[in-house]
């Protein structure tokens, strides 16, 4: 086995760190940083370091140092050596928790927004979620939406003018700076197409998160601007009308969504539109066995336009209601088996489909049960992270967390930091919150306002802050 292969596998469960250390021996010896007598132990510690951060990305550096049993000078040498061996970095990024690094942390590091948060420096949000939907036709049991909550129809005109002003305000340079979601269902806003065209005209790639119940041919004809979307990501809530009704409370909804998606496949093929189409599927309790049927659904959907198959699917899990977000041993074993069957079947029936298994399912696919990051009120940040991400609803209200921007949601007002309007820009809202020293005191169960992205960002910021306080400012956060 080559040095590269051995080191890259060091974070994977079951890998032999002794074998990895032997493969690293020559590179460590040639670095000039380690006395000859320390080469072997140092190589072993490097492999162990990759394993730590490939499985637990938000461990503070001091904790990792203590686990390895080295003094600060020795740990500094380890960190310097780590940066010189690319295969070790690859081991961390490809480890069981690697998706935290590759999907979230490293991209935000490159943008410099974490440092802006820690320095309390006001910057325009790196990501802006536009939540334009006035209502929703579903009532999903896992959704935090208040039953019956909606925005008044009279809010649409002013709200869409406000969204247009936000689109015009977003700095150029980050093509993925905005996305459209909710809140409530975005396609219930009749002005959405015009907003998408406005953003696309400025060079932004807009992804629409939708349930696709309203993604009808009539809707697409009436709002031609929807064809300017970069991608449509449809949340799929089951594979039969019965499953859909049990989740969404609406009869016949699966049949309609399936027909909408199939027709959209045909229309985008006819138009040769570059717009991407994907699905988001949450593996709900008791439904792991349906993953095989999910492949069949996608394969059948592709028959509507064989030359333009579905582009991607994001698989996620629902740990809500379980203590500490953990699966039971039986559930974990079943889910792992079903995921492996899904992967094999998808490779056969839908070979071009890109599958994103997310933070937790990726680790499960690798044979380990890495626990999802679980932020609690006591680990929430009173200053949050508006330089990283904010959400703007139809009223122009700006929220700190993605699950807070729902109308009528109890306690969400604590996380509303201002309102965009004719006399107030989004820049001003964020700058006022950051420079005023404003804070939000978290209360019990406020962690449910944070989605998986917010949880990962919060964990990263907490890690960095701890590293800096421990004197590791130049090395804070391990991978950069």
Domain extents for the chain? 3-95, 110-377
Residue of 229 and 243 predicted with greater confidence: 229
Pairing of strands 397-399, 389-393: antiparallel
Q: Which sign does the torsion angle of CA 238, 241, 242, 247 carry? A: positive
> E-assigned strands of 14-71?
none
Q: 478: phi > 0 → left, psi -120 to 50 → alpha, else beta; which?
A: left
Mean pLDDT of 233-257: 90
Buried b (16+ CB within 10 A) or exposed e, 363-402: bbbbebbbbbbebeeeebbebbbbbbbbbbbbbbbbbbbb
> Is the confidence at residue 371, as pLDDT, over 70?
no
pLDDT band at 321 (very low <50, low <70, confident <90, very high): very low
Tell how far CA 357 is from the center of its chain: 11
What's residue 30's pLDDT?
Answer: 84
Count of CB atoms situated within 10 Å of the CB of 126: 22
- Using the predicted structure, report yes or no on whether residue 297 has a pLDDT greater than 60: yes
Q: CA quadruple 391, 395, 397, 399: dihedral positive or negative?
A: negative
Work out the number of other CB atoms within 10 angstroms of the CB of residue 246. Answer: 13
Greater confidence, 147 or 5? 147
The span from the CA of 300 to the CA of 195, in Å, is 32
Local structure of 384: helix, strand or coil = coil
Identify the CATH homologous superfamily for domain 110-377.
pyruvate-formate lyase- activating enzyme (3.80.30.10)
As a whole number of Å, the end-to-end CA separation of the chain is 28
Using CB atoms within 10 Å of the CB of residue 328, give its burial: 0 to 12 exposed, 13 to 18 middle, 19+ buried: exposed
Decide if 105 contacts 58 (C-beta within 8 A).
Answer: no
**pLDDT at site 1:** 43
Report d(CA 360, CA 53) in Å as an integer: 15
Task: Select, from the ranges 26-35, 82-91, 126-135, 235-244, the one with the highest average predicted confidence (pLDDT).
Answer: 126-135
User: 98-117: per-residue pLDDT in tens?
Assistant: 899 999 999 999 999 999 99
Asked if the model's pLDDT at residue 342 lies above 70, the reply is yes
């Amino acid at each position: 086995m080559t040095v590269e292969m051995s080191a890259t596998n060091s974070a994977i469960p079951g890998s032999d760190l002794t074998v990895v250390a032997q493969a690293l021996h020559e590179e460590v010896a040639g670095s000039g940083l380690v006395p000859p007598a320390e080469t072997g132990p140092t190589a072993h510690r490097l492999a162990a370091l990759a394993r730590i951060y490939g499985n637990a990305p938000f461990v503070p550096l001091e904790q990792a140092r203590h686990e390895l049993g080295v003094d600060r000078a020795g740990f500094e040498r380890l960190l310097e050596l780590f940066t010189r061996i690319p295969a070790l970095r690859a081991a961390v990024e490809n480890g069981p928790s690697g998706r935290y690094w590759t999907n979230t942390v490293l991209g935000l590091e490159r943008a410099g927004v974490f440092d802006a948060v820690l320095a309390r420096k006001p910057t325009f949000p790196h990501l802006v979620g536009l939540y334009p939907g006035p209502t929703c036709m579903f009532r999903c049991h896992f959704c935090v939406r208040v039953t019956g909550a909606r925005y008044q129809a009279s809010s649409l005109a002013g709200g869409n003018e406000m969204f247009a002003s936000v689109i015009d305000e977003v700095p150029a340079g980050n093509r993925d700076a905005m996305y459209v979601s909710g809140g409530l269902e975005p396609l219930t806003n009749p002005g959405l197409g015009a907003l998408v065209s406005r953003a696309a005209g400025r060079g932004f790639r807009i992804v629409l998160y939708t349930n696709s119940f309203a993604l009808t041919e009539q809707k697409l004809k009436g709002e031609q601007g929807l064809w300017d979307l970069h991608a449509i990501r449809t949340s799929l809530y089951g594979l039969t009308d019965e499953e859909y009704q049990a989740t969404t409370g609406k009869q016949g909804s699966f049949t309609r969504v399936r027909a909408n998606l199939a027709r959209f496949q045909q229309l985008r093929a006819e138009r040769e539109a570059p717009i991407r189409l994907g699905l988001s599927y949450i593996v709900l309790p008791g439904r792991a066995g349906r993953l095989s049927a999910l492949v069949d659904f996608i394969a059948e959907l592709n028959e509507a336009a064989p030359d333009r198959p579905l582009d991607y699917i994001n698989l996620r899990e629902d740990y809500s209601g379980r203590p500490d977000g953990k699966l039971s041993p039986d559930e974990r074993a079943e889910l792992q088996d079903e995921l492996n069957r899904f992967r094999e079947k998808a490779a056969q029936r839908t070979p071009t489909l890109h599958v994103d298994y997310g933070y937790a399912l990726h680790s499960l696919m690798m044979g380990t049960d890495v626990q999802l990051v679980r932020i609690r009120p006591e680990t929430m940040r009173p200053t949050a992270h508006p330089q990283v991400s904010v959400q703007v609803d139809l009223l122009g209200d700006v929220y700190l967390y993605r699950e807070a921007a729902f109308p009528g949601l109890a306690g969400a007002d604590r996380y509303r930091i201002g309102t965009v309007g004719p006399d107030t820009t989004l820049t001003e809202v964020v700058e006022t919150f950051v420079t005023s020293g404003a804070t939000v005191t978290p209360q019990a169960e406020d962690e449910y306002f944070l989605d998986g992205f917010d949880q990962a960002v919060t964990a990263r910021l907490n890690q960095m802050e701890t590293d800096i306080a421990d004197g590791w400012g130049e090395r804070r956060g391990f991978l950069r």
